[in-house]
Amino acid sequence: MPAVGQGVILFLKEVQEIDSRLLSSYNIEVGALHHPVVVLHSAETADDAVVCLLTTLNGANVEDRFHPSLYGWYLAIYPKPAPSQDYRQLRLVGDVRLRKQGYVSTRQSHRVHKSMLKPYDRSKPSHYYRLTASSLEYVAIQLQIVALQKSHTNQRQARDLTPLLTQQRQLRLFQEPNAPDAVLERSFVIDLARTAVWTSGIAFAATWWAAKKSFAGFWWLGKKIYANLPRTEDHP
């Protein structure tokens, strides 16, 4: 079994290489097998890992296949160019290049058993192909945004969060050459968290106000109905 660490690019085994009991236990489509993946999370003591698929889109560019609203579903890995200036280009440690140019798919993540993974290239150490820390964090953030986009109830939140990606890219353009990525990434995550809290607060306030107005309306209606009820005189 290869070393399964965060950001490491590995390969999902073919269906015939995987224990059938694992295939029934893990909810992953057969079509996703025999594809390269990037590890998002894997605890040393755990038997499983969370991964995202890599795809070449059959050699096509994402801008030639999809509407701009879906560009964030496929993140370009260097040297594959990003589809627009609003999206970052992912990089591997040491500017290592994959055997084929492609993308990290953020359409969804998958939980797999570690034994379902094998090295991306058996001639190299298993950790040789690995996303930089800032690229891996960008994938994690984009996964959250795509999840909001796919949820009909959170379309507005997704639109509110997406400009932060552009803001992050602009900040990186003015970043000093020797400044550590981690400082900038933490700042961006803080901004993202603040925006999420802000939008959630507005949603809660709007819900509370609507509930208050509804309660006031029902109270007024109840008083009107009660006032118009026929009265019976008391008899001695």
pLDDT tens for each residue of 59-73: 999 999 999 989 999
Q: Is there a contact between 37 and 156 (Cβ–Cβ < 8 Å)?
A: no
Please give the model's pTM, rounded to 2 decimal places. 0.66
**pLDDT beyond 70 at 36:** yes
Residue with tokens 């085994």: 13
What are 42-99's pLDDT values in tens digits? Answer: 887 789 999 999 999 999 999 999 999 899 999 999 999 999 999 999 999 999 999 9
CA atoms within 13 A on the CB side of 72: 23
Q: What's the DSSP call for residue 111?
A: E
Coil, helix or strand at residue 7:
coil
Backbone angles phi, psi at 100, to 5 degrees: -130, 145
DSSP H or E run through 38 = strand 36-41
What are the residue ranges spanned by the domains of the chain? 1-131, 132-228
